[in-house]
Structure 1
């Protein structure tokens, strides 16, 4: 199968993943985890998250076929997940609650903070629209950003402050909301054909 490299797709997929992963908005969580559990292995967390995301890109659709769900249905479901993630970001509420971790590099940093349910849903939703090679490049770009943010999290928190992080989170929440609406509109009509 011929895969075509398209920098517009790479840019769009990168921005979508950046908004979903929301690593800059997660800096307060990362700092809090670092204070609770000590050192976070940025390299290990980044590599594990990348492996999870790329593996899910390739086997996610097969898993869906196994349970009898088509890509359009999953994309519509993904649009709902993105919609609620965006609401969390914009309104500053938590719809999804999780237990407090005892270790941090793999769980919860790599999974589910970076490569969580929203990211997995997004990857499969992107697969319905974009070439795999472009999504892989977008994943790698995001993992590089994630690694940098994990390494510099304390410095980023000092520079941006609580208000700066809040503004960035809300801006990307609005972007994510728009992406969710577009994803829903593009795939819901296929369900009724």
Structure 2
């Protein structure tokens, strides 16, 4: 029972951490803008490709994390410190941001056609929105010091988040109409606060591990 509790607690921590970083709700306006000139079939196709590509990116970095550490001589403690700083900065920017994040992601005034879907799915949707530096660092940090079971949990949790993101993309227009832009901004800032706290926790743990080396 205690083993199950440990796995459940780990899964919960990973879910909250990755959910705060990915923040799929804040990605809805970006998806809607990039696919505004497409039909429903094209939008669904892009949503599917973006989450699959993002999942593959995180899978590669999570599985190859130990190998990357060995090749470049990186320690988990150093990764935690760097990742903690990075995650905190991302969270801080989300909290203090006064402008719509979609403005920074705007690709121009030219309409996006359906045959451009794969490039849009890769960037900016898959990377950096769904699998950005913060997500990669966090997933590697959660996976590197754990066994295969914990790695599987990380990927399962991220897979669930990708599926949630897919559903949010598909129902984006209805969601914005229901909750409104202001509520979405509040949710984004709450996620940013959670993210900043997680970053501080990662930083503190990394510093503690470095001091004990």
TM-score range, shorter chain: 0.7 to 0.9
Query: Does the 8 A contact of 1:23 with 1:146 survive in 2?
Result: yes
1:93 deviates by: 6.0
Query: Does the 8 A contact of 1:7 with 1:134 survive in 2?
Result: no
Query: Does the 8 A contact of 1:90 with 1:174 survive in 2?
Result: yes
Instruction: Say if 2:127 is the partner of 1:120.
Output: no
1:148 deviates by: 0.8
Instruction: Say if 2:123 is the partner of 1:107.
Output: yes
Bigger shift: 101-110 or 140-149? 101-110
TM-score (norm 1): 0.88
- Taking structure 1 as reference, are residues 129 and 155 closer, same or farther at Cα in structure 2, changes over 3 Å only? farther
TM-score (norm 2): 0.80
1:124-143 aligned at under 5 Å gives the runs 124-128=140-144, 131-143=150-162
Instruction: Say if 2:11 is the partner of 1:10.
Output: yes
Who is 2:207 aligned against?
A: 188
> C-alpha root-mean-square deviation of aligned residues, in Å?
2.5
Report which of the two structures shows the higher radius of gyration computed on alpha carbons: 2
Who is 2:30 aligned against?
A: 29
- Taking structure 1 as reference, are residues 163 and 98 closer, same or farther at Cα in structure 2, changes over 3 Å only? closer
1:121 deviates by: 0.8
Higher helix fraction (1 or 2) = 2
Q: Number of paired residues? A: 190
Given the alignment, which residue of 175, 182, 193 partners 1:156? 175
Who is 1:52 aligned against?
A: 57
Instruction: Say if 2:93 is the partner of 1:92.
Output: no
Who is 1:170 aligned against?
A: 189
Q: Please list every run of 5 or more consecutive structure 2 residues that lacks an aligned counterpart in the other structure.
A: 113-118
1:64 deviates by: 2.8
CA distance in 2, matches of 1:129, 1:165: 35
Residues 66-99 of structure 1: per-residue CA shift (max 9 Å, x gap): 111111101110001101110111001689x678
Residues 106-130 of structure 1: per-residue CA shift (max 9 Å, x gap): 2211122101111101111222565
